Chains A and B, each alone.
Chain A
Amino acid sequence: MRWLERGPWFVVAPAVLVVAAGVGWFGYTFAGDLFVQTCTVEANLLTGEAEASNCGDEAAVSARATTTATPADTATATPAATETPATGTPAASPTASPTPAASGAGVLARAMFRDGEPGHDGEGRAELQRLADGMLNLYVADFSVTSGPDLFVVLSTSPDGYTGDGVLVLERLKANNGNQNYAIPAGTDLARYRSIVIWCRQFDVDFAIATLEVQ
């Protein structure tokens, strides 16, 4: 420890400050998501109803909600999904044009979330919906998943989670609690997909899995 005692204060003090700030930033960035709870409550776009959520009273929700979308907001949102083809070619955005206004609005498939890999818990229900305007939508309700970093909502061709091949990455998870909508790109062949996965991109871990049951 003599170098600490002998070092000039104007070298030692800034060095300690910089290293401490760096270590603190590392903790904030990479471990901060482990102990934080977030909530987003959105209306069910199919029914237009704002359903009860698991987020607590209204004040708590408003304090923590990251977004509260109205049906109109989300229905017109541009899908953020990218698909990873099974062939291993670069990810591509689906380019099919939106389905014209359809009379077949309704729930296409349902699923219940279950725990992912050990230590990663999930619960809640999910619906794949075709909306009145023909857009495809994933609605999750009473949803809760272990908080973590870099979480994405993914449609997987496997019933048991993220496989890496042929998955459709919808978008970043909005919050780890609540009722949420995720736009599915128009023209997506939903018959290919067997499960919805909450997937951690950073560590390639399944946090929650919902195996789809076609209606």
Chain B
Amino acid sequence: MTVREAAIATNPLARAAELLPARAAVAVSIAARVLGALSVLWYAYDQYDAFDGRYFPRTWAYAVAVAVLAVVSMVPVRGWAGVAASAAGAGLLVFAGAILAREPWGVAALVAGAVAWLAVASAAYQRGGGSPAAIVGLFAGAGLAFAVAVGVALGVGE
């Protein structure tokens, strides 16, 4: 029995990671990040629409910054850094979604980010030992979400 087979035999998370082929997991992570970015942008548009076209620059600035960073995280990079970057994009959506979770589109971004992160972690595991990079990326995404929130709050009036 190989180390990998032994891990799958004893670790339910390893078995779960094998449920989706690595290429499919990568595709799911990209699709979920696209949906998460759109959810955040829709959050800002929904606010604009609900208040009869009143423009809230702070919300737009945050939504656009999060969406752009989520898209940037899809740039293909090999190895540990690639896994960490993808996971950071997913983590960014998770924690930006948590910040925006008082409205449904914020919750949608959170869910999309969580799905994207699980897919990133699955692909990373199947391609060999990238799980720590996925975990580090997740919390780097949290740092990004809070840094952008603070920067926008301090730099953009409403």
Using a CB–CB cutoff of 8 Å, the interface residues on chain A facing chain B are: 1, 4-5, 9, 12-13, 16, 19-20, 23-25, 27-28, 31-32, 34-37, 39, 54-57, 60, 63-64, 119-121, 146-147, 177
Contacts and interface: CB of A to CB of B under 8 A. Distances in A.
Interface string B99-143: 111110000001000000000000000000101110110110010
Contacts of A24: 94-95, 98, 110, 142
A146 B157 contact: yes
B51 A177 contact: yes
Contacts of B146: 27, 31
B98 A28 contact: yes
A32 B101 contact: yes
B154 interface: yes
Nearest to B50: A60
Given A34-B153, A35-B62, A119-B157, A56 B52 contact: yes
- What does DSSP make chain B's interface, helix, strand, loop or mixed? helix
Contacts of A5: 129, 131-132
B99 A35 contact: yes
A34 B60 CA distance: 12
Given A20-B94, A34-B149, A37-B47, A1 B157 contact: no
A197 to B, nearest CB: 17
22 contacts: A5-B129, A9-B11, A9-B12, A9-B13, A16-B138, A20-B142, A27-B95, A27-B145, A28-B101, A28-B102, A31-B149, A34-B58, A34-B149, A34-B153, A35-B99, A37-B50, A54-B51, A55-B51, A56-B50, A119-B153, A119-B157, A121-B158
Given A28-B101, A36-B102, A9 B52 contact: no
Contacts of A28: 98-99, 101-102
B95 A23 contact: yes
A215 B67 CA distance: 50
Given A13-B13, A146-B158, A4 B135 contact: yes
Nearest to A145: B158
- What does DSSP make chain A's interface, helix, strand, loop or mixed? helix
Given A1-B133, A16-B135, 20 more contacts: A4-B131, A5-B131, A9-B11, A20-B138, A20-B139, A23-B95, A23-B142, A24-B95, A24-B98, A25-B98, A31-B150, A32-B102, A34-B99, A36-B100, A55-B52, A56-B51, A60-B49, A120-B157, A146-B58, A146-B158
A81 to B, nearest CB: 27
A1 B136 CA distance: 9
Contact of A57 (B52, B103, B158): B52
A63 B145 CA distance: 27
